[in-house]
Amino acid sequence: MEKGELRVGIIGYGLAGRVFHAPVVAATPGLAVAAVSTSDPDRAAEAAARYPGVTVVASADELFDVRPALDLVVVATPNRHHARLALQAIDAGLPVVVDKPLTPDVASAEEIVSAAAAKAVPVTVFQNRRWDDDYLTIQRLVRDGELGQVTRLESRFERWRPMVRAGWRELPGADAGGLLLDLGSHLVDQALQLLGPATSVYAELDRRRPEAQVEDDVFIALTHANGARSHLWASHVVPVLGPRFRVLGLRGGVETYGLDPQEAALRDGGSPGTPGWGSDGRTARIGTPDGYREEALEPGDYSRFYAGVVAALRDGAPLPVDVAAAAHVVQVLDAARRSANSGTTVSV
């Protein structure tokens, strides 16, 4: 740890903490992984080996008592713990990053927003897919007006996983697993960021694999306040993949295929900032009245999220993800589940 670095404590060292947060924190100038909480001995040993000098504890309560004091807490636990731990951090006056979704339910999301405002504690949510290569490219095309007024967004996180995997995300109950809160959080967040707030939601949630205990096939249709529509898919049962993005405007459109390479690179032990990070040669196909062209995607970079956190804590810059916007995502996801249960369109 270098002098002046912000000391970060990470609660949970499963997929979110070990694969996403810890490596990205360690690669971000101004941050250092100072503490990790995990009750798993093998993961504890892995954290200690990968981040020399880190303090490893068995529980979140112990992490809050780590000395020297922490400057930032990351909640990277199963969804059901997000609200309790975020509120604990706020009560301690500690800035906090919560893995997506902010919480599984609207009431606790609103409680976090209110508590953060009342105590003036910075709270943000790790919506890392805002820094995917394809999404960054589409944002730029929309911002620059090349597509004109956008009328429709199609967005997919499709995978072919015919066998149910072990882990809380594939199980029902208190941990709040299932694809709606998992990949649905990314899909809805990206749609709201690109096209603005939603006014109505229609959704279909299904369990397609015989062994599935939670939804593994999700469709969400949003109507946005500006009249645009988003059609969003998340599924584990897609042997023939569709386009990752298809965005249509009155002056042009864009289509991309494949997934941003950062998740795969992080799973393989990679680190942001290494040569070629966030780029794998994929292109966007852009159609305009003048014809079609292929354009290289902008490199993705999840460390830009944590660079934004550093800027917010040190310089008073806006947080990279506004907690109220993250609460609106939870509101839309809740409306989607109510829509699927009732078979009706639900107003937001």
In a domain, 325, yes or no: no
pLDDT of 177 > 90? The answer is: no
- Show the domain range for 19: 6-127+305-317
Same domain assignment for residues 200 and 118? no
Would 35 be classed as within a structural domain?
Answer: yes
Reported as a single tens digit per residue, the pLDDT across 211-228 is 999 999 999 999 999 999
Q: Give me 302's structure tokens.
A: 């999840």
Are 150 and 281 contained in the same domain?
yes
Question: For residue 177, what are the CA distances in angstroms to 42, 76, 78, 101?
Answer: 24, 14, 8, 11
pTM above the 0.75 mark? Answer: yes
Tell me, yes or no, whether 94 and 211 share the same domain: no
Instruction: Please state, in angstroms and as integers, the Cα–Cα distance from residue 248 to each residue in 147, 267, 273, 289, 290, following that order.
Output: 7, 33, 33, 13, 15
> Cα dist. 336→33, 105, 152, 176, 298 in Å?
36, 12, 19, 15, 31
> Is residue 276, in this structure, part of any structural domain at all?
yes
pLDDT bucket at 166, cuts 50 / 70 / 90: confident
pLDDT band of 268, cuts 50, 70, 90: very high
> pLDDT tens, 31-52?
999 999 999 999 999 999 999 9
Do 256 and 340 lie in one domain? The reply is yes
pLDDT at residue number 2: 63
Distance CA 211, CA 286 (A): 40
Model confidence band, residue 170 (pLDDT cutoffs 50, 70, 90): confident
C-alpha dist (Å) from residue 24 to 32, 146, 171, 271? 10, 32, 28, 7
Q: How many CB atoms neighbour CB 182 within 10 A? A: 21
Give the residue from 148, 127, 167 showing the smallest Cα distance to 330: 127
pLDDT value at position 167?
Answer: 86
Query: Do 180 and 85 lie in a common domain?
Result: no
**Phi, psi of 8, rounded to the nearest 5 degrees:** -110, 130
Confidence class for position 110, pLDDT limits 50, 70, 90: very high
At residue 174 the predicted structure's pLDDT band, cuts being 50, 70 and 90, is low
Residues 110 and 170 in one domain: no
Residues 143 and 123 both lie in one domain: no
Tokens 């290289």 -> residue: 296
Q: Answer yes or no: do 206 and 114 share one domain.
A: no
**What value does the mean pLDDT take over residues 171-181?**
83
**Per-residue pLDDT tens digits for 311-339:** 999 999 999 999 999 999 999 999 999 99
Instruction: Provide the number of structural domains found in the chain.
Output: 2
Average pLDDT of every residue of the chain: 96
Report yes or no on 224 lying in a domain: yes
Give 45-95 pLDDT, tens digit per residue: 999 999 999 999 999 999 999 999 999 999 999 999 999 999 999 999 999
Residue 1: is its pLDDT beyond 60? no
Residues 165 and 263 in one domain: yes
Neighbours of 29 (CB within 10 A): 11
Does residue 41 sit in the same domain as residue 187?
no
CATH of the domain at 63: 3.40.50.720
* pLDDT of residue 102 exceeding 90: yes
Residue 323 belongs to a domain: no
CATH number of domain containing 138: 3.30.360.10
Judge if 133 and 23 occupy the same domain.
Answer: no
Do residues 184 and 256 both lie within one domain? yes
Which amino acid, residue 54?
V
- Give the pair of three-digit tokens for residue 203: 């959704």
